[in-house]
Structure 1
Amino acid sequence: MQAARPTHLSPQSPVHVIRGVHRPVVERHAVDCAFLWVLRDQAVKAPHYRMRNLLSLDRRIEANREGLVHAGDAGWAACLAELAQDEEDAGATFAAALVAFSTRRADHMRHICQLAVATPGGQRALISALGWLPFEPIAPILQRLAAGSEPRLRRVALRVLAIHRRDPFDALKQALTTDDPDLLEAAVRGLGESGRQDALPLLRARLDDAAAPVRATTAASLLMLGDADGLPWLEQEVMEAGPAATPALALVLRSVSPAEGRQLLSRLSGRPGSERMVIAGTGMLGDPLAIPWLISRMQDPPLARLAGEAFSMITGADLEYLDLDLDLSRNADAQVPEGERENEHEEPDDDVPPQDRHLPLPDPAGVQAWWAQHEASMAKGIRHLCGRPVTPASLLEILRTGYQRQRRAAALQWALMDPDRPFFDVRQRSDAQQRALQSCN
């Protein structure tokens, strides 16, 4: 959606104040809440955001939510006005769902549910809104949705239960008997993320008879719960380049020894078109033995940024902070007289893949020099993440201070090391993340 439109209205203007509600301000809350959610939805997956950045975004979203709820019917009307411009606007759907379920108005909740389930983006926004709110007030609503006849709303409820890591009515296990692949996938995923050891026998039973896409999710959940029965299925998903190949690779490489991981990456490198997966997988494996090869891949422009991220994933080196990147915009500006530079704030058009857009372009010579100084401090053949051997203490520090992709890697590694612990969700509300991290002290 487009960026928020500025308004220039005096808060003292009486023509806009009706029964204590300043309508332009309320409308601004609706626009901003929608826009900020879209920004946050991108930020939680971005390589250049940390949790402190999410905290800032989340406080602004919450302030806008409070303003809309405080405005009563005017707040709901403002959300509907945003939705009227585009019913498939996920940000506007999130804002409206947030207001509807905050106030728990049955007609408003019913209306936004009917709109949201019509599109995948709307469902994601509805799940996000319900995951944003405290669990206890919405628990009865989730119970009704999980037991209802509308499969899309049942799936929404299952995903929200997984986000909250709460399932007092055991809806996730009950849904394992369904033949609906979307519902089954949501249930299987939720049980793995929630650390539900009690579900292991049921998940094992579903591993062989589930459809292929659900089988990969089932194998992943088994592995996160400490059961290696899922490993062969995940390796097959990787080698056959299935739809879940990349997350499957992350699980496998963080579960096996570095030597076994190197063998898997070697086999994978023989498959045409696997270059990006092998580079990303090298970062996932975390063995400093591969650093020279990663530096060599930085010479290949289409792969350089990804190789730089894998290098940083292993070593913890922040390429921009250490001036180990090639600042293309700065170099281009050096050739143009002051005052004649155009598009100063736009990234150069160098065919950067979307997932690499915010990654720095490494300077291979600078990276090589840095590695020559630090190589002796990192033992080869031992898994590292962000410059340190993997331990609970090092993972906790990354969850507190790392970038989002590094934080997700730490969360995944922690879940594999401690299968009884629910998977730490680096996308959930940042204040809830802070509380969870404080409890780990």
Structure 2
Amino acid sequence: MSATARNPKSKDALERSIVPVIVRQHADQAAFFWAQRDTLMMADPPDIPVVVSVDRRLEGNLDGLRIAGPAAWPFVVAAYEDFPEKGEMFLYAWMAIEQNDSRRLAKAVELGRKSQDDARGLVGALAWHRPETIAVEVRDWIGAQDAFRRFLGVSACLGHGVDPKQMLARLVHDPDARVRATSLRLAGKLKRTDLIHELAAALNNADELTRFWAAWALTELGSGDLASPELRKVAVGGSADAMTALRAAVKAAPDKDVRAWMGGLLKSPETAPLAVRGAGMLGDRNILHWLIHQMRDPSLARAAGVAFLELYPEAREDGRLFSVETARLGKSFADHFDDDPPYLPVADSVKDWAKIRNLLE
């Protein structure tokens, strides 16, 4: 029998020993840092050193909640009630799993149905915990009648790279579009070559998300020839998956074919930024001089800057290369962005940076 069970007052003593303002601060900051992390990971490409730094701060605040134990629950609940967003949903679900609280976890699942952001937070909590910690729930969810629970189960497998074996062959045909798309993505991540015929068939599905992730998965399996048309369509469509589709499209076809496709995109003002951004995904540092030239065009500067950082990630450390100041960017940028430009590369500064490192010939 534990000391707490022998002496019920010891639990009360522990709960009284916490400092409420500190526990509330841990709860608020944990929610904030996970939301920040999630947003950073959606960037193209993500700044991994910054993400690692955020992860450390997030884990430090989660440790504070671990120490507080069940006494932290009022602060976790208050955080979600005050600001029901993805970070607070992550915190609520993470705490339920951490405390092995099945009632709270069931409530987290119901809350997670409310919106895409809540679902992201719940999936994030599943990914943050070790696979063995959530294994029982995932096994129940992945075969559940309820589509949202199936989605959570497959998403947990995706987050941890766990193979549901023969179950995946059924899930790639799931009647729910979100479950189906996530399962196709998992099949690609796991390199499930045994499912290649199912992935190819999914290219003809009526659901756009299903077709996209089937194409992405086929590319991961080395069948980009089948996938290229769908990937290119999504890339130019401007959806939230456009950059993922562009990266997959670059991988799906021979370099010569990709360059020819991007050359066509450059001819249209609507698709030219996509071509500039895609150029950075080719991994060819010989285009630096060309990229600097694109940085002088306000409509292409952002894409050129991101492509530059992908090719030269070390440039992130030099804060002088990017700016929001029209005095540094130039009058054309002030006119184009109505005196309020986003964070953009300063072409002359990038050129000087490159010359110092003998990167321009």
Distance 2:292 2:149 in 1: 48
> Does the 8 Å CA contact 2:292/2:304 hold for their aligned counterparts?
yes
Separation of aligned partners in 1, 2:127 and 2:243: 25
Structure 1 stretches lacking a partner, 5+ long? 1-15, 333-347, 377-441
* Counterpart-to-counterpart distance in 2, 1:209 and 1:161: 23
Instruction: Say if 2:351 is the partner of 1:367.
Output: yes
Deviation at 1:322, TM superposition (A): 8.6
Q: Where does 1:158-177 land on structure 2 (aligned, <5 Å)?
A: 158-168=154-164, 170-177=166-173
Identity %: 26
- 1:93 is aligned to 89
Q: Which moved more, 1:37-46 or 1:178-187?
A: 37-46
Aligned ranges 1:222-241 → 2 under 5 Å = 222-228=218-224, 229-238=226-235
Q: Contact 1:127/1:156 (CA < 8 Å) preserved in 2? A: yes
Counterpart-to-counterpart distance in 2, 1:198 and 1:185? 17
- Which sections of structure 2, spanning at least 5 residues, go unmatched? 1-12, 330-336
Aligned partner (choices 275, 280, 283) of residue 278 of structure 1? 275
SS at match of 2:315: coil
Runs of 4+ in structure 1 displaced over 6 angstroms?
A: 329-332
Task: Verify the 8 A CA contact 2:228 2:249 in the aligned structure 1.
Answer: yes
User: Do 1:192 and 1:222's aligned partners in 2 also have CA atoms closer than 8 Å?
Assistant: yes
Aligned to 2:128: 132
Aligned counterparts of 1:147 and 1:306: Cα–Cα separation in 2 = 43
- Aligned counterpart for 1:258 among listed residues 255, 258, 266: 255
Query: Take 2:161 and 2:205, find their aligned partners in 1: how far apart are those partners?
Result: 26
Cross-structure match for 1:156 = 152
Give yes or no for the alignment of 1:196 onto 2:181: no
Which position in structure 2 is the counterpart of 1:12? none
Quote the Cα distance in structure 1 between the aligned partners of 2:313 and 2:73: 46
Q: Number of aligned pairs? A: 340
Report whether the alignment pairs 1:120 with 2:119: no
| 2:137 equivalent to 1:141 | yes
Given the superposition, is the C-alpha separation of residues 313 and 147 from structure 1 closer, same or farther in structure 2, using an over 3 Å criterion? same
State the shift of 1:142 in Å: 0.8
CA contact (8 A) 2:295 2:346 kept: yes
Instruction: Answer whether contact 1:117 1:153 (CA < 8 A) is retained.
Output: no
Output one character per residue of 1:356-408: Cα deviation in whole Å (capped at 9) or x when no partner: x4xx52233751783594245xxxxxxxxxxxxxxxxxxxxxxxxxxxxxxxx
Amino acid at match of 1:80: V
The change in CA–CA distance for 1:55 and 1:211 in structure 2 (over 3 A counts) is closer
Gap change, CA 1:141 and 1:291, over 3 Å in 2: same
CA contact (8 A) 1:326 1:363 kept: no
Give the drift of 1:18.
4.5
Q: 296, 300, 306: which one pairs with 1:299?
A: 296
- For 1:327 and 1:38, the matched residues in 2 are separated by 25
Q: CA RMSD in A?
A: 3.1
Question: How high is the TM-score relative to the length of structure 2?
Answer: 0.82
Q: C-alpha displacement at 1:268, in angstroms?
A: 1.8
Mark the CA change 1:316 to 1:183 in structure 2 (over 3 Å): closer, same or farther: closer
- Specify the alignment match of 1:77 in structure 2: 74
Query: Which residue does the alignment assign to 1:5?
Result: none
Measure the CA separation in 1 of the matches of 2:114 and 2:353.
54
Question: More helix by proportion, 1 or 2?
Answer: 2
Q: Does the 8 Å contact 2:324/2:341 carry over to 1?
A: no
**TM-score normalised by the chain length of structure 1:** 0.68
